[in-house]
Amino acid sequence: MGMFDRHVKQQQTNRNVFFIVLIVLIGAVIWALQNAEQPPEKGITLTPKEYIELVERKKAARIEAQQLEQAAQERARRAEQTIRQIPQR
């Protein structure tokens, strides 16, 4: 019976260590999410309406960034053309 008791005790110890490590990991993830400078925009608690609004905001921001990039490229192209038109000495 002595070996069986030690085996059961070892299993209980292993189980306790597993749960302690699991609790610490879960706590670390929760702490990291709460203390993040920019927490994730998607949450588990988003309603369908809120999710659609989030997608629309991201799409609008992406389109605006593309338009700004195109405008900057156009300004650079025009500046380059202007420089080419200046007579070389």
How does pLDDT run across 13-46, given as a tens digit for each residue? 888 899 999 999 999 998 888 887 766 666 567 7
The mean pLDDT of the chain is 85
Is residue 46 within 8 A of residue 54, CB to CB? The reply is yes
The token duo for 35 is 């203390």
pLDDT at residue 46, rounded to an integer: 79
pLDDT at residue 2, rounded to an integer: 59
Rounded CA-CA distance 20/24 in Å is 6
pLDDT > 70? residue 1? no
